[in-house]
Amino acid sequence: MNAAKRYEIFRRLHEDNPEPKTELAYSSPFELLIAVILSAQSTDVGVNKATAKLFPVANTPAAIHALGIEGLSAYIKTIGLFNSKAKNVIETCRLLVERHGSEVPQTREELEALPGVGRKTANVVLNTAFRQLTMAVDTHIFRVSNRTGIAPGKNVVEVEMKLMKFVPKEFLLDSHHWLILHGRYVCLARKPRCGSCRIEDLCEYKQKTSDD
Hey, which residues are catalytic here?
120, 138
Say whether 203 counts as a known binding-site residue.
yes
CA 13 from chain centre, in angstroms, equals 17
Say whether 93 counts as a known binding-site residue.
no
Contact at 8 Å (CB) between 63 and 98? no
Alpha-carbon torsion (98, 130, 85, 157), positive or negative: negative
136 vs 159: CA distance, rounded Å: 10
Say whether 187 counts as a known binding-site residue.
yes
Residue type (1 letter), 64: I
What does the DSSP assignment read for the chain? --HHHHHHHHHHHHHH-SS---SS--SSHHHHHHHHHHTTTS-HHHHHHHHHHHTTT--SHHHHHHHHHHHHHHHHTTSTTHHHHHHHHHHHHHHHHHHHTTPPPSSHHHHHTSTT--HHHHHHHHHHTT--S-----HHHHHHHHHHSSS--SSHHHHHHHHHHHS-HHHHHHHHHHHHHHHHHTS-SSS--GGG-TTTTT---SS-----
Residues annotated in the binding site for [4Fe-4S] cluster, as ranges?
187, 194, 197, 203
